[in-house]
Amino acid sequence: MKIKRDDKVKVIAGNHKGKEGKVVKVLLAKNRVIVEGVNIVKKHQKPNQANQQGGIIEKEASINASNVMLFCENCGKAVRSSSNRNEDGTVTRICVVCSKPV
């Protein structure tokens, strides 16, 4: 998966198309990501030690990783990325449109 935690992404398909946000968590086994501020659902929470009162809470639900693309700050839009190995052996992701690191 080319998307990692703390990446800025844009949703390209589904009910939340066009929204941007930061990736909070990546679920590799399910090929899903949780994006901050996207796909908010209401969950009925029983009272427990952490939440004494319980009630209805709002939280982000996961969306399929194929519905998001990396967002390039230089281009200002969602872009594809390619990998580039540097001389010191590290790998950086490059924007296909502007050829700058994402």
Domain range list for the chain: 8-73
Q: Which CATH class is domain 8-73?
A: mainly beta
Say whether pLDDT at 1 is over 90.
no
Structure tokens at 90: 């590290």
Residue 67 in 3-state DSSP? helix
Mean pLDDT (whole number) for 27-48:
95
Averaged pLDDT of the chain: 93
Q: pTM to 2 decimals?
A: 0.84
Structure tokens at 35: 């994006």
Structure tokens at 79: 């872009």
Beta strands 77-79 and 81-85 are unpaired
pLDDT at res. 102 = 83
Burial of 91 (0-12, 13-18, 19+ CB in 10 A): exposed
pLDDT band with cut points at 50, 70 and 90 for residue 69: very high
With tokens 């030690």, the residue in question is 49
pLDDT at res. 50 = 86
